Amino acid sequence: MIALRLAEIAAAVGGELRLPDTGATAQDRVDGPVTTDSRELVAGGVFVAKRGEFDDGHRFVPAAVDAGAALLIVEEGQPVDVPQIVVDDSVDALGRLATEVVARVRALGRLRIVGVTGSNGKTTTKNLLRTVLERVGETVAARKSFNNEVGAPITMLELTESTEFLVAEMGASGVGEIARLIRMARPDVGIVLKVGLAHAGEFGGIEQTVRAKSEMVTELLDTDVAVLNADDPRVAPMAELTRARVVRFGLGDAADVRASGIRVHARGTEFTVTVPGGESATVAFGVLGEHHIMNALAAIAAARELGVPLADIVSALESVTLAEHGRMEVLGGRDDITVINDAYNASPDSMSAALKTLAQVKRDGARTFAVLGEMSELGEFSGDEHDRIGLLAVRLGISQLVVVGSGARRLHISAINEGSWDGESAFVETQDEAFELVTAQARPGDTILVKSSNSAGLRHLGDRLGEWFS
C-alpha cells in the first residue's frame, strides 16, 4: 500500500483512531500490505478484522499483533498496544480505503485500470492481461480469484506510486456488486466476457445475471472503452447501454478483434488473430481448450487499447502455458496418458467447453475419460443443466463417464437414459472410488478430464491422478 498517515486512513474509512500509550501519533505513516487473514500478515502490515458467516476476524487480532501489525481496522476496540481504527463495518472500511488509494495513485497521472467480468473466464483473462502488461510497466492484478467485495479492494491496495496498470477482476453474486467495485476503481477499459448460468441461483435468474454484469459498461464514461463478446447474445447488446467506445471480440464477422484458422491439439491451441486496420498474427497459444481463445481475444483487445503493439501481445500470450492451477491444466505423461485437471470451478458453459475439448484432443485408437462432479450455485436450473451435460457427454462419444458425488448423480442418470447403459457411465460417491476406477481402467494413450465446481473438491482428485500417471 502507498504510505498514508494514520489520521489520513482514519479519515478515508470514516473511523475513530485510537492510539496506544506507546508514543504513536496520528502522523505516523503506514505502508505495509493489507489483509483480512492474520496468517498472511507481515510486519508493518494492516489487519482488517472482518466478521464472516462462520468466524469473526476479531478472534485473530492477537495473532495479527504477534505478527507485527502496524494498524488494526476493527468494529470494536481491542485491548492491545497497536494503533486501531474503529469502524461500523470493516468490509465497508476496506472498500473506502481502496477507493482512497486508487484515487491518490490515479492523481499521479500514470495509472490505467482494466476491469474484467463475466460468468466464465475472468481469472484466465486477468492472468493473460497481467502477463502482457507487466512487460510494459509495473502491473498489479488479483491473486487467485480475488474478485469480490473483500478480494478486489485488497488487490487495489497493492498499488504503489509507480504502478502503471491495475487489472481488477470483478465478480458478483447479486445486482449492484460490480457497480460498487467500479466506484472503487473505475476502469479505463471494461471487459465483459460471457453471461451464462454460473451462479444464476445466487442472482435469482439469468435476467438478473445480465443486469449485474452490464454494470461493467453502464458505469463507463465516454472516454473509456467497453470490450464486449460479439458472439454472446447476452453480452453483445450491452453496446447499447454504454457511453464508452465499443470494441468487440469473437469468432464471427461482427468482431473487431477476431480469431480464425483455429487448430486444437493436446498441448494447446493455434489461431490467427486479426485486429482493426487489418493487421494479423498467428498465435501458438499454450493454454488448452478452444474456449480459452475468447479469453485471449479479450486480452488482446484490451491490451491494444492500452497501446501495446500486437507483436508484443502475441509474444506474451505465447509464453503462457497454464491459465491457473486447476484450469485446463495438463498433467500426466506416463504411457502417453494425459490428465486434464479443470476442476477449479465449473458452470454449464465451461463444462460443455471442457467436454468438447476432450473430444477434440482424443488420440486415434485411444479412449477418453470424463470424471465429473457437481456444478454448484445453479438454483432452479441445476437439474436441467446436469441433464444436458450427461446428454452431451454421450453425444460427444466420451468413452467413459465417471460421475462423482450425489450432487451430480442426475448427470449419470441422464447419460444412461441417452444410451450409456453398458458401463460407459459409472456413478461413485467418493473421490477414492473414482481414483480406483480410473487407474484400473486407463490404458496407454488415454486422455482423462477431471471437472467440477470448486465446492465439489475434484481438483485434488485431478492432482492425484496427474501425479499417479506422471
User: Any idea which of 203-207, 210-214, 246-250 has the lowest mean pLDDT?
Assistant: 203-207
Q: How far is CA 297 from CA 42, 171, 192, 231, in A?
A: 38, 20, 12, 12
In terms of phi and psi (left: phi > 0; alpha: psi -120 to 50; beta: otherwise), the region of 307 is left
Helix then strand count (H, E) for the chain reads 16, 22
Q: Each residue of 221-246: pLDDT tens digit?
A: 999 999 999 999 999 999 999 999 99
* Residue 46 main-chain phi, psi, to 5 deg: -115, 130
Query: Alpha-carbon distance 336 to 32, whole Å?
Result: 48
Confirm if 305 and 247 have CB atoms less than 8 A apart. yes
Query: Alpha-carbon distance 136 to 202, whole Å?
Result: 38
pLDDT for residue 31 is more than 70: yes
**Residue 379 burial by CB count (10 A; 0-12/13-18/19+): exposed, middle or buried?**
middle
Q: How far is CA 422 from CA 366, 404, 439, in A?
A: 18, 18, 19
Query: Domain spanning 108-318 has what CATH number?
Result: 3.40.1190.10
CA 440, 441, 447, 452 torsion-angle sign? negative
Confirm if 283 and 271 have CB atoms less than 8 A apart. yes
E-strand ranges in 326-405 read: 329-332, 338-341, 368-372, 400-404
Q: Each residue of 127-153: pLDDT tens digit?
A: 999 999 999 999 999 877 677 889 999
96 or 363, higher pLDDT? 96
**Residue 132 burial by CB count (10 A; 0-12/13-18/19+): exposed, middle or buried?**
buried
**What pLDDT score does 202 carry?**
57
Q: Which fold has domain 4-88?
A: 3.40.1390
The total of other beta-carbon atoms located within 10 Å of residue 32's CB is 18
Query: Alpha-carbon distance 72 to 66, whole Å?
Result: 12
Q: Each residue of 295-345: pLDDT tens digit?
A: 999 999 999 999 999 999 999 999 998 767 777 888 988 999 999 999 888
Q: Each residue of 448-457: pLDDT tens digit?
A: 999 998 888 8
289 or 236, higher pLDDT? 236
**What pLDDT score does 284 carry?**
95
**What pLDDT score does 421 carry?**
64
The total of other beta-carbon atoms located within 10 Å of residue 201's CB is 16
Q: Each residue of 36-46: pLDDT tens digit?
A: 999 999 999 99
165 or 287, higher pLDDT? 165
The three-state secondary structure class of 406 is: helix
E-strand ranges in 321-433 read: 329-332, 338-341, 368-372, 400-404, 425-428
**What pLDDT score does 276 carry?**
95
User: Chain-wide mean pLDDT for the chain?
Assistant: 92
Domain residue extents for the chain: 4-88, 108-318, 329-468
Pick the CATH number of 329-468 from 3.40.50.720, 3.40.50.970, 3.30.1490.100, 3.90.190.20: 3.90.190.20
Predicted TM-score of the model (pTM)? 0.85
pLDDT for residue 204 is more than 70: no
Nearest alpha-carbon partner for 147 in 167, 164, 176 = 167
Query: Alpha-carbon distance 43 to 70, whole Å?
Result: 7
**What pLDDT score does 198 carry?**
53
Q: Each residue of 143-193: pLDDT tens digit?
A: 776 778 899 999 999 999 999 999 999 987 778 889 999 999 999 999 999
The three-state secondary structure class of 228 is: strand
**What pLDDT score does 121 carry?**
86
The helix (run of H) or strand (run of E) holding residue 259 is: strand 257-265
pLDDT for residue 206 is more than 90: no
Mean pLDDT within 456-466: 93
The amino acid sitting at 272 is T
Q: Which residues contact 73 (CB under 8 A, 6 or more apart)?
A: 13, 15, 46, 47, 48, 49, 84, 85, 87, 90, 93, 94, 97
The amino acid sitting at 212 is A
**What pLDDT score does 94 carry?**
97
Query: Alpha-carbon distance 315 to 42, whole Å?
Result: 35
pLDDT for residue 422 is more than 80: no
Q: How confident is the model at residue 17 (pLDDT cuts 50, 70, 90)?
A: very high
Q: Which residues are annotated as a binding site?
A: 118-124
Q: Which residues are annotated as a binding site for ATP?
A: 118-124
Strands 46-48 and 112-117, by their bridges, are unpaired
